[in-house]
Amino acid sequence: SHLNSTSFLHTITTLSSSNSVRSKCISRVSYNSHPARFQKHRVNMTSSSLSNSTSVHNTSLSGDSSFQNQMNNQRLIAHGYQLPPEEITKLVDSAVDPSIVLQPRQRDLFVVLGNRALPPLELVAAPELRLAGLRIHAPTFTKSRSEYYDSIALQRLRDENHVQIGVKFEEEELMTAAADGSLDIGYIRWAPDGSKFCFCVLKRGFGLELFCANVSEIDLDIRNTERQSVIARRVLPKGTRLHAILGSTISWAPDSERIQLQLVDEDAVKEYDLQQASQPRRVSPTVESCDGGPPAPARTYQDLLRNESDAATFAHYAKCRFAVVNVERLEYEVIENKSRVISGCNWSPDGRYLAMSELIAPFALFTPLSRFPKTVKVYEVPLPVSGVVSDLKHVVDVANLKLDERKSVEFDAVSAQARSVMWRSDAPSTLVWVVAQDEGDPQKTVEFRDIIYSMCEPFQGSPTVLARLPWRFQDIEWGSSEVALITERVYKSRSYRVSICKPGESIGSTASATDESDNSIPLVDRAECSVTQEAKRRVFLNVVNWEDAYNDPGSPLMRTNEFGRSVLRLVYPNEKHSRSLPWLIMANTGATPEGAMPFISLMDTSSGNQTMLWRSKPPMLESLTTIIRDDDATGLPMEVLVQQQSKSDYPNYSLYDVSEIVGLGQRAMERDITNSFLSEVSETSLTTEMKKDSPQQFSEAAQEQVEGFSVVRTDSSPLVRVTKFVNPAPHLVDIQRSQVFYERDDGVQLNANLFLPPNYNAERDGPLPMIMWSYPREFKSAEFAGQNRDSPHRFIRVSRAPLYWLARRYAILDGPLMPIVGQGDSEP
């Protein structure tokens, strides 16, 4: 009764709950295949969500010293929160499966990471700065909504006894925290050669500290049941913390001895704090004005810079010092004295160069961070000399990009300037970038939407045209000097197509070297080479509508090459590579009207035809996670890691021998070569003609009956049961789940999952209260909106908010689609 309306509204605003997606520093091993794009498929990282977080947000005070002092000095204590009913409390606090991170090369070990049921309230409710689309925890120079693991250990892949190898610290304080589960661990990164891994520990109120553990001395003999351990050594001096607001924070060099990282500039922090303490607190109205001009459509973005005070605060927290540290000698090789706003930094595959993106002030107001002016430059990393700290040597400017003021809000709209600057994964040091030919506006009529350019060291002369694309560039996946896959899309029709090209060994080199004065001109501003150097390519896959899950061609499996980079897993009939066009191993979620049945197949890139090699078999739901060992001659899988689950079996990982696939794949490749005129395809006959349609989803039964190829199964005993996770809620094991199918009034076929409490009987118990958990989705086709993308054999994990209410005898209708369908040229 003592609050006026203004202060009451402010209280509600600053303490409101918000549903937000929180990115883990690294997350669970998962099977991920998205029908909307021809994407890489490998052990990858996912994100998890947490709702009902409390945050204090007041942008106008974000640069005020009192706000900073509150975050630095005030300890948060949870009080006044209501507890849910006991049945739900038990579920919320129940154990969560560990996450695993597989060793990249040898694949003998994996890191086991303990997940908390929920993050500490101290972290969830901590004050945050909201600047330029970022949410920052100011005292630690980290993103405010990161989640962390509470334990770390190792396990041998082939150890069925699941004996864990401990990770110990040299400091008693950290060992105590590890014992009581109060560690905050994140940013786990294996070295490319698999000999060691690094990770960060969050010291609350201070920041991230870096540690590294060497695994080369671990006894891999599973007969050795003695407890083993490795020591995680501090990499940086005490009092040194990592900067984790922008950029990659840490990344290994290809030599597995060096790490590039970003450090908090402690001198700048002290100077900033002194300035803030000496300045009077300024309170002024926020005034926004429009200077006129024609109206322009724009999308809505959260937490943008609104005034010069915001811009100054962002500049302070976004700046960092760049460094390279040798983890073997525990000493710096490079450390810069100046600080800068680094938005990205990537090693060249050979480890000689770094491509660094730096945001340039002044920072635009009411504009997303991704559109800020920036420079992209290549630096040479000096050869390591013990005890010598060097500076990066500037080699060449790649691009000086101005503020991106794109005018179109179409989904295919892009920047009119150079974009997607990257290193070619299969070459030592070749840069690739894309430039729109329609000024980034998809409504303009042009012959080519995008051009892909390339240039290799020494970055002199003019760039080479790799490909001219009639559609919008989406992705490029590198395989070898013989093979690269280019994906282009048209969002309006939900279409994409994939072409195969031969990039060559020296793509990007010029016909004649020019004098070194050309290096003063950024690469993207130099005139291109002759079009005759454009790599020949051929479209072999055309997806008419990526919403059609039943005809999804799948995603190519990847492997790690000698540079530690992810490249296409190319398959040939034998080690002689009898023709230039390879086969690809495709992973597919296997959506069908009866439910998902994941499979892997062999795709002939000369025709787009696929042969199924392995498939999940009901009543199990199986997903191939990664290939552990392959055949030296062909590249076909021999051992695979599979996640298995069923209605009654909790999800776990097992190692299987699938060497039968080698013989099956060889027969399929021989058939393709002998029975198709495409066996005569050579690099000189590659064209840019597009197939009218992708092959329709093939039938397993037809493959076995007509073609005589039996699909390999993993329903026998595995080589090793790698994990033994248990159901954290056994009292809810009898939950009843069924898929329901129904028709909307406009004729759209829909489906959802209906969950009923354990032992529920409709005749005996009568009707139940029901919670519907749904969200609208957009589709271009009513036919595809109702396709069944789930499996009736999936284990029911009672691990998210709506399903908790099963313990309170509620029925849950989970995921009933609310499709918004846009027909023809109209968007949903």
Listing DSSP states for 305-373 in one string gives --SHHHHHHHHHHH-BEEEEEETTTTEEEEE-SS-B-EEEEEE-TTSSEEEEEEE-SSPPTTS-GGGS-
How far apart CA 81 and CA 776 sit, in angstroms, is 32
Nearest to 234 by CA among 325, 166, 121: 325
Query: What are the pLDDT digits (tens) for 183-235?
Result: 999 999 999 999 999 999 999 999 999 999 999 989 988 888 788 999 999 99
Element (H, E) at 135: strand 134-137
- DSSP designation for 670: H
Q: Where are the domains of the chain?
A: 5-77+85-281+300-405, 406-550, 569-721, 730-821
Mean pLDDT of 58-84: 53
pLDDT of residue 577: 60
Question: Which burial class, exposed, middle or buried, applies to 750 when counting CB atoms under 10 A from its CB (0-12, 13-18, 19+)?
Answer: middle
Question: Which of 665 and 286 is assigned the larger pLDDT?
Answer: 665
What average pLDDT is seen over the chain? 82
SS3 807: helix
Nearest to 769 by CA among 724, 795, 806, 816: 806
How far apart CA 50 and CA 257 sit, in angstroms, is 37
Where does the pLDDT of residue 74 fall: very low under 50, low under 70, confident under 90, or very high at 90 and above?
A: low
Query: What are the pLDDT digits (tens) for 492-548?
Result: 889 999 999 988 865 444 434 344 446 789 999 997 765 556 878 889 999 999 999
pLDDT of residue 14: 26
Instruction: Give the contacts of 179 (CB within 8 A, at least 6 positions apart).
Output: none
Pair of tokens at residue 239: 């009092």
SS3 293: coil
pLDDT of residue 13: 26
pLDDT of residue 217: 87
Sheet of strand 749-756: strand arrangement: 736-743, 749-756, 811-814, 770-773
pLDDT at residue 266 is higher than 60: yes
**Which sign does the torsion angle of CA 58, 63, 68, 71 carry?**
positive
